[in-house]
Amino acid sequence: MVISMSEELGVKTKKSENFNEWYIEVIKKSGIADYSSVSGCMVIKPYAYAIWEKIQSLLNERFRKLGVKNAYFPLLIPERLLKKEEEHVEGFSPEVAWVTIGGSSELEEKLAVRPTSETIMYESFSKWIRSWRDLPLKINQWVNVVRWEFKNPVLFLRTREFLWQEGHTAHATKEDAEKEIEEILEIYREINEEYLALPSVRGKKTEIEKFAGAEYTVSIEHMMPNGKAIQGPDSHHLGQNFSKAFDIKFFDRDEKERYVWQNSWGFATRQLGIMFAVHGDDKGLIIPPRVAPIQVVIVPIYQEENKEVVLNGSRKLYEKLKEKFSVHLDDRDEYTPGFKFNEWELKGVPLRIEIGPRDIERDQVVLVRRDSGDKSSVPISKISNEIENTLDSIQKSLLERAKKHFEEHIEKVEKYEDLERIVNGKWALGGWCGDPACEKKIKDETSAKIITIPFDLNENPPDGHCVVCGKPAKYNVYIAKSY
Ligand SMILES: [Zn+2]
């Protein structure tokens, strides 16, 4: 039996009409992840996990150059450790999952399933660090964390368990720590823009929005297709808040004992969800070539009488390309070419090669771009170069398209009355006096919030006024609803 089309395969929801429904439909139909019987916990299937592994290796390579070493710390954190830094525990306790029973006996002390690992790691840091020679100490771990969300779970974007890397460092001086905050944010920007093709707004979080226990938080913010904001990777300067709570001290060069300065920073699997959401279209996912598990899929087109010739030609092509690209030959006999086109489009493979009997005769193939649908005939002799150029071009155009969407969905806000309208589908850009009371008013009255104080728009002091109270603005800020 030949399977030609499947009702199941087509995406029914239009992205432009209902983004939320479109997203869930595409993620499920593309077969990259699934819900599990634990509410809010997801199954990441091999195709998506391969993208995560790619990101891991990109980040590991860059962290290594900064002197960061990978290690592993326990999943379970004793309650007394979690309580040591006051703001930290206050910020996290509403979403901590606890282990209270071991076998059949009640535990003497509750154990938290790690929501983040500052506390368990810094207990060790206080034993490891003695002198200035031990600094800087730079440790990273690749783990899962659990945060008991109560909102509706959404695959990759909002799950109770997710994967991430968390870097934790200790420095002799504040300057050294702050320099690293910038280096890490630059690495995150590079991965986002150059690999995931995601435009990145870099900026500082307000006091209200910063990480619980940090002196300040810098982050990368992304715009979703529906104009809402979602936070990407972030980096926290912890000052000496934790080193004082955990007694992490060192003897400096002058023999005086001092507390270390600390940072923590993280990049999570949510980033995959943002990438899927931003680039996908009504046919399914579009994976940027530089992180795509399959960059090129070869689909042979044949009838019974020319099957052998076409398949042989396809195999030869596959052998030729596999050295240079991650390529897949779809030679399944029970599916029609049309079915295969749909399936690989749904999975977002950036480039498809169609090869039929006439192509074999002419020593050529047809290339089809996933992003634009453009088709072109290419001589086999030039195929390698052509693929390389086309993948490059897809990578660039995905980023450009996302940047254009971002720019088109920013609107300057002068009057408070306009805010509610703007944040319904866009980000508002306006002045803020810096007073938390004005920030709180926005949050309470508009269901939007100040998502970031962007670096690039605050190089010079702004000349406008606070959109809430009308006093002179201290910062330019983006105000948006968050996803
Ligand atoms: Zn104000």
Q: What CATH number did the domain enclosing 425 receive?
A: 3.30.110.30
Distance 466 CA to ligand 1 centre (A): 5
User: Token pair for residue 356?
Assistant: 């039929």
**Which pTM was predicted?**
0.96
**Cα(289)–Cα(20) distance, integer angstroms:** 25
Amino acid 87: pLDDT: 87
Distance 246 CA to ligand 1 centre (A): 37
Distance 309 CA to ligand 1 centre (A): 73
Among the listed ranges 34-48, 85-99, 237-251, which one has the minimum average pLDDT value? 85-99
Distance 139 CA to ligand 1 centre (A): 40
Mean pLDDT (whole number) for 459-474: 94
Mean pLDDT (whole number) for 321-336: 97
Q: Is residue 400 part of a domain?
A: no
Is the pLDDT at 4 greater than 90? The verdict is no
Amino acid 21: pLDDT: 96
Residue 7 binned pLDDT confidence (cut-offs 50, 70, 90): low
Distance 419 CA to ligand 1 centre (A): 14
Cα separations (Å) of 335 from 19, 343, 359?
A: 30, 10, 20
Given strand 327-329, what is the order of strands in its sheet?
327-329, 296-300, 351-355, 364-369, 375-379
User: Token pair for residue 67?
Assistant: 């002197």
Amino acid 353: pLDDT: 98
**Are 430 and 376 found together in one domain?**
no
Contact 270, 157 (CB under 8 A): yes
Distance 418 CA to ligand 1 centre (A): 16
Distance 473 CA to ligand 1 centre (A): 7
| Half-sphere exposure of residue 98: CA atoms within 13 angstroms, side-chain side | 15
**Are 245 and 117 found together in one domain?**
yes
Distance 444 CA to ligand 1 centre (A): 14
Amino acid 161: pLDDT: 97
Beta bridge partners of 352: 297, 368
Q: Is residue 439 part of a domain?
A: yes
Among the listed ranges 237-241, 280-284, 365-369, 460-464, which one has the minimum average pLDDT value? 460-464
Contact 62, 176 (CB under 8 A): no
Which amino acid does the sequence have at 466? C
**Are 67 and 124 found together in one domain?**
yes
Q: Is residue 436 part of a domain?
A: yes
**Cα(195)–Cα(410) distance, integer angstroms:** 24
CA nearest to 289, candidates 54, 11, 67, 13: 54
Q: Is residue 13 part of a domain?
A: no
| Ligand 1 (single-atom ion) residues, CB below 5 Å | 433, 435, 438, 466, 468-469
Give residue 472's region: left, alpha or beta (phi > 0; psi -120 to 50).
beta
Is the pLDDT at 8 greater than 70? The verdict is no
pLDDT per residue as tens digits for the range 11-24: 999 999 999 999 99
Is the pLDDT at 107 greater than 60? The verdict is yes
**Cα(228)–Cα(441) distance, integer angstroms:** 19
**Cα(85)–Cα(213) distance, integer angstroms:** 7
**Cα(27)–Cα(13) distance, integer angstroms:** 12
pLDDT per residue as tens digits for the range 391-447: 999 999 999 999 999 999 999 999 999 999 999 999 999 999 999 999 999 999 999
Distance 436 CA to ligand 1 centre (A): 8
Backbone φ, ψ for residue 323 (5° rounding): -65, -35
Distance 222 CA to ligand 1 centre (A): 25
Containing domain of residue 470, as a range? 410-480
Amino acid 89: pLDDT: 86
Q: What is the CATH number of the domain that holds 169?
A: 3.30.930.10
- Reduced to 3 states (helix: H, G, I; strand: E, B; else coil), residue 41 is coil
Mean pLDDT (whole number) for 142-148: 97
**Are 151 and 219 found together in one domain?**
yes
Distance 465 CA to ligand 1 centre (A): 8
Mean pLDDT (whole number) for 90-109: 94
Q: Is residue 9 part of a domain?
A: no
Mean pLDDT (whole number) for 232-236: 97
Number of domains in the chain: 3
Torsion sign across C-alpha atoms 227, 442, 474, 220: negative
Distance 232 CA to ligand 1 centre (A): 27
**Are 138 and 241 found together in one domain?**
yes
Q: Is residue 5 part of a domain?
A: no
Q: Is residue 40 part of a domain?
A: yes
- Residues across the chain: 483
Distance 437 CA to ligand 1 centre (A): 7
Distance 91 CA to ligand 1 centre (A): 25
Distance 279 CA to ligand 1 centre (A): 36
Is the pLDDT at 376 greater than 80? The verdict is yes
**Are 30 and 113 found together in one domain?**
yes
Distance 438 CA to ligand 1 centre (A): 5
**Are 146 and 192 found together in one domain?**
yes
Write down the H helix ranges in 300-435: 307-321, 337-346, 357-362, 383-408, 416-422
**Are 209 and 246 found together in one domain?**
yes
User: Token pair for residue 252?
Assistant: 């400096």
Distance 74 CA to ligand 1 centre (A): 44
Amino acid 463: pLDDT: 86
Distance 462 CA to ligand 1 centre (A): 13
User: Token pair for residue 392?
Assistant: 């490059």
Q: What is the CATH number of the domain that holds 355?
A: 3.40.50.800
**Are 303 and 242 found together in one domain?**
no
Contact 42, 34 (CB under 8 A): yes
**248, 279, 310: which is the final residue of a domain?**
279
**Are 179 and 249 found together in one domain?**
yes
Mean pLDDT (whole number) for 241-260: 97
- Percent of the chain whose pLDDT exceeds 70: 98
**Cα(324)–Cα(352) distance, integer angstroms:** 16
Distance 472 CA to ligand 1 centre (A): 8
**Are 79 and 33 found together in one domain?**
yes
Burial class (CB in 10 A: 0-12, 13-18, 19+), 372: exposed
**Are 143 and 110 found together in one domain?**
yes
Residue 6 binned pLDDT confidence (cut-offs 50, 70, 90): low
Q: Is residue 398 part of a domain?
A: no
